Chains A and B, each alone.
Chain A
């Protein structure tokens, strides 16, 4: 931030909307606003697109995590000024909040990684995938952002346990048929359940068809886990449905530790998302797809869409202060790191941007009201998400490159309270060099130690540390099946705070990446905020007439209507 390149002053200096941060929520917002004709200035303090959703090389990722972690940020060059009063505006200085803690990065084979370091595109917000029937896909299709991203299928999903065995998730008719671990009766019960869900969904779209089976209202309000029991599904299948298909985090059988006991209604919605995802795009194998070059492509695609519609982009441009109207205390604009003052009707901020508490005391009530969304709240919910990234040589499962692995609660160790999700991605997705894979892991946790412990347990189940003595003789060792685990080359562990977005009239704050596997909630909250802030006008409405071109890809997934 010190050696900013000299920027010419921005012209114009007045906008309908300023958006700070290029995460998914901010980018969707910017694209929607510019598409509806608003003038938008989109800033990012980082030299890359995506903010906390970016995909970075290993060194960039390392430095981003370090600079955004709780180790105290470098103190501002001058002591925080009281809100300055020298212009027509009151200027309130902004400070950065750190989202990350317990950052620990270890490299086991530095030479190899340095050689390839720029060939990695590693996600900050992993593990994360897109469901084919996801809200984010709908939005991409609607906005035309799909023209800038290409996806590939996640080939398989597995459920793991402490034995190290990975079992296929029977998530479709064909998968149930092929599955070798289910008994015939289990296949029958599971398919029967899927059919019930499908028939329920069909009956809710085609109303008043009495022939279709529907799940009763009473069941819909009961806990999903109880409903599964009522359907006489054995525990093994229940666990698959809850954690590997509905993607739940908390142990649904343990009412004490379960933060979110899912109702059947919500469970059915989650299954519906999964079921409708399977087969939505003809060349997607399963329910899940992943953008080639990493998740950072998604916010970037929306930014490009916004740019086409006239949104102005400036990267490496932090804002240092808010400008408030002297008389009304209302929001006027922001001060850029270059010192330039830019004005707008409305302001959307990245979750990292907050106000130092010491600044607040000298402000009027009216001014405090304006900036209230930026005041860090005492966290009511201590929930965090622990994330891990491993670069490995080899694959966790032979013949499978891109795969999702879920460890349901208690599957690895008795005190495991939450599900751990692991996503392995290969060079086919252009996220790492050939022969290597990137593993993303995450789990929800209340404190850093608990989360890191869970991730380490999953890691040790899947990968092994390189043997310092004979690194060259892997081929010899691989004869032994239990030793065929892939070798860990590089590892990052960090815990991310979960910050909710806030709507505050003229100034609003966007949420941090959530602990989910997909973008559904993030996109929904961005759209809700858009509606609150910009009115309920239909999003991207003129884009629907744009003709999609059909392309034949060999193995990529075309997402088209």
Chain B
């Protein structure tokens, strides 16, 4: 039961419960003996009944009863009356156990087991449930069981939806009812059942949940349903290609390692020692099935017939928003190539929700292969000087910023209208926290739908202000609002080439690398990466970042400054392991070493799950250090760093420096010092 204060028990009640415990213990030991000896006599079964009626949580007793029932069934000659009476008795025991404690998992499970045997009538079950659900309308066991019974009885989803209506009308503070509603509606909407077209039905559902949220903005059950509805509104099922690198119509310059001749070039220059460059596809949702058969490449570049596509995901799963492959080129073969990419040429790209990438999408870019004139330098990369201001008027920014794949969905209009009316609606509830938060989310969703440049980005200021208000109002969720604020800020920054170009520079030192400087912006989270795939050098210093999650998509990144942030461990840098181009990393003045595990994430590598270090050289030579710095080891081992700054962290010191040198033997600069041989 909900909302009832617990009362301290009186001494006499405590004495009674102690006496009950003694009785229960003796019952239990007798029962265990029976169970152990496989005694299924009537008295033995009766004993388990007694035990369960006192303590429905005794799951061993439920299992014993299952064995006992099977034993009985094997002894009687399938006389239907006898069989029924055995199962009816089981149902009776469950019912009285549930009266004792109707949150008993074992009891509900036993009931399911009895019913699944198919001998008992299920007509009675819904009535019994109505009774239980009247007593405690939110009990999720009852709701769960209800779904089970409904499936057995083939009761229509419409009828069940009506039942959630009734329950919600009775008391809308009922998570279970709202949840069941979302389950039923998902199914009905997916079937396109009569009267359940999304464009008609979803607005009605908004009306319903508005009543709940406006009547009691503090009641959270409505919030979750609203979030679910918002997801239904925004979720265009078909996965779309959001961006790519190289982008459609762009020109890139490829070269071998070292410096280029015409280093004033305005085009993105990509140098590689390995003679290949990445091709990145960024989808709006996680997809699987990107391969050389689903993505075809048409170019004169040789040796790219059987490309291997790799999902970039720190979870090591086979679905991801970001997929990358590497195209080979020959650096001496000076030439200009047109490359044509067709995505979704043949079916196979499927979203994690099971929807196919529908319309094939084609893009073309040009690659110039240049020769290198000078030997590659091993100079130190400085974050303080050597930057040229981006020429905002230069046309080629347009080619850097990738274009969203056109959302040519037919039913896009109702989604926009639904979001517009939500924005209007929550505008009047903006004196409450949930009102502000919902409005901010809605405005973000609305901005994502805008395709008209004239009105694009106009509401970001409002969103940022809402999150600022929330941070001040609700300090216990400060970090969440802060993160959302960062996301909104980055969306705003990438919403137009004008605002983006204010942060863009060219770094003279290394072939005019494209550098994005986002320092001193109190960012706590990284977002909008899909629009920043072209960035080669990224300055995120003096922010409030806890992790590098998201940066894994930036496959061109070769220099990264994370100094003066809030990174607390090397496992927070885990996503950088995917950034194979990374040469320069500054993580000085963070809190690395304070916690060995990134507690902001549930999934991270741990020393227990990785035993392979004992196989490699460093692991064999220095098992002690590897054990001590295992999180650093797993990240640094996979990187190809030339320059690392680590000073100003808890972990820094001579011991760690010598460890780094063993793990990253190619390192040239450590904490500003050139490493001599």
**Hey, which bits of chain A sit against chain B, CB under 8 A?**
173-174, 176-179, 184-185, 187-188, 191
Query: Assuming the A-B contacts A184-B211, A185-B214, A188-B215, are A177 and B169 also in contact, with contact meaning beta carbons closer than 8 angstroms in the complex?
Result: yes
CB distance from B220 to the nearest CB of A (A): 15
Give the complex CA separation of A316 and B61 in angstroms. 69
- For window 204-234 of B, CB contacts with A under 8 Å fall at 210-212, 214-217
> Do A188 and B214 touch (CB < 8 A)?
yes
CB distance from B518 to the nearest CB of A (A): 40
- Closest-by-CB residue of A relative to B432 is A188
Residues of B within 8 A of A179 (CB): 211
> Do A174 and B211 touch (CB < 8 A)?
no
B235 within 8 A of A: no
Residues of B within 8 A of A178 (CB): 169, 211
> Do B171 and A187 touch (CB < 8 A)?
no
- Closest-by-CB residue of A relative to B212 is A177
Give the complex CA separation of A11 and B188 in angstroms. 79
Residues of B within 8 A of A188 (CB): 214-215, 217, 429
How many residues of B are in contact with the other chain, CB < 8 A?
16
Residues of A within 8 A of B172 (CB): 173-174, 177
Residues of B within 8 A of A173 (CB): 171-173, 215-216
CB distance from B229 to the nearest CB of A (A): 15
Known pairs A176-B215, A184-B210, A185-B214 / 17 extra A-B pairs, C-beta < 8 Å = A173-B173, A173-B216, A174-B169, A177-B168, A177-B172, A177-B211, A177-B212, A177-B215, A178-B169, A184-B425, A184-B429, A185-B429, A187-B211, A187-B215, A188-B217, A191-B214, A191-B215
CB distance from B167 to the nearest CB of A (A): 11
**Hey, which bits of chain B sit against chain A, CB under 8 A?**
168-173, 210-212, 214-217, 425, 428-429
CB distance from A213 to the nearest CB of B (A): 13
> Do B214 and A174 touch (CB < 8 A)?
no
> Do B171 and A184 touch (CB < 8 A)?
no
Give the complex CA separation of A67 and B429 in angstroms. 61
- Closest-by-CB residue of A relative to B217 is A188
Give the complex CA separation of A177 and B211 in angstroms. 5
Residues of A within 8 A of B170 (CB): 174
CB distance from A278 to the nearest CB of B (A): 12
CB distance from B203 to the nearest CB of A (A): 14
Which of B171, B425, B429 has a CB less than 8 Å from the CB of A174?
Answer: B171
Most chain B CB atoms below 10 A, which of A176, A188, A191: A188
> Do B428 and A185 touch (CB < 8 A)?
yes
Give the complex CA separation of A184 and B209 in angstroms. 11
> Could you list some 15 contacts between A and B, CB below 8 A?
A173-B173, A174-B169, A176-B215, A178-B169, A178-B211, A179-B211, A184-B214, A184-B425, A184-B428, A185-B429, A187-B215, A188-B214, A188-B217, A188-B429, A191-B215
CB distance from B483 to the nearest CB of A (A): 28
Most chain A CB atoms below 10 A, which of B172, B211, B428: B211
Most chain A CB atoms below 10 A, which of B210, B214, B428: B214
> Do A187 and B169 touch (CB < 8 A)?
no
CB distance from B602 to the nearest CB of A (A): 34
CB distance from A516 to the nearest CB of B (A): 30
Give the complex CA separation of A174 and B177 in angstroms. 14
Residues of A within 8 A of B428 (CB): 184-185
Residues of B within 8 A of A187 (CB): 211, 214-215
Which of B171, B210, B216, B425 has a CB less than 8 Å from the CB of A191?
Answer: B216
Residues of A within 8 A of B429 (CB): 184-185, 188
CB distance from A188 to the nearest CB of B (A): 4
Residues of A within 8 A of B214 (CB): 184-185, 187-188, 191
Residues of A within 8 A of B211 (CB): 177-179, 184, 187
Give the complex CA separation of A79 and B429 in angstroms. 77
Most chain A CB atoms below 10 A, which of B170, B215, B428, B429: B215
- Closest-by-CB residue of B relative to A184 is B214
Residues of A within 8 A of B216 (CB): 173, 191
CB distance from B480 to the nearest CB of A (A): 24
CB distance from B210 to the nearest CB of A (A): 5
Residues of B within 8 A of A177 (CB): 168-169, 172, 211-212, 215
CB distance from A198 to the nearest CB of B (A): 12
Residues of B within 8 A of A174 (CB): 169-172
CB distance from B83 to the nearest CB of A (A): 33
Give the complex CA separation of A174 and B212 in angstroms. 9
Residues of A within 8 A of B168 (CB): 177
Residues of A within 8 A of B212 (CB): 177
- Closest-by-CB residue of A relative to B210 is A184
- Closest-by-CB residue of B relative to A178 is B169
Residues of A within 8 A of B210 (CB): 184
Nearest 9 Cβ contacts at the A-B interface: A184-B214, A188-B214, A187-B215, A187-B214, A191-B215, A176-B215, A177-B215, A177-B172, A177-B211
- Closest-by-CB residue of A relative to B134 is A282
Residues of B within 8 A of A176 (CB): 215
CB distance from A212 to the nearest CB of B (A): 14
Give the complex CA separation of A174 and B167 in angstroms. 10
CB distance from B390 to the nearest CB of A (A): 47
Give the complex CA separation of A179 and B214 in angstroms. 12
Residues of A within 8 A of B169 (CB): 174, 177-178
Residues of A within 8 A of B173 (CB): 173
Give the complex CA separation of A177 and B216 in angstroms. 9
Give the complex CA separation of A179 and B211 in angstroms. 8
- Closest-by-CB residue of A relative to B171 is A174
Give the complex CA separation of A57 and B428 in angstroms. 55
Give the complex CA separation of A177 and B214 in angstroms. 8
Give the complex CA separation of A188 and B215 in angstroms. 5
- Closest-by-CB residue of A relative to B428 is A185
Give the complex CA separation of A191 and B425 in angstroms. 17
Give the complex CA separation of A173 and B212 in angstroms. 9
Give the complex CA separation of A30 and B211 in angstroms. 50
Give the complex CA separation of A93 and B615 in angstroms. 120
Most chain B CB atoms below 10 A, which of A173, A184, A191: A184
- Closest-by-CB residue of A relative to B216 is A191
CB distance from A184 to the nearest CB of B (A): 4
- Closest-by-CB residue of B relative to A179 is B211
Residues of A within 8 A of B171 (CB): 173-174
Most chain B CB atoms below 10 A, which of A174, A177, A179: A177
CB distance from B430 to the nearest CB of A (A): 11
Give the complex CA separation of A178 and B212 in angstroms. 9
Give the complex CA separation of A490 and B170 in angstroms. 37
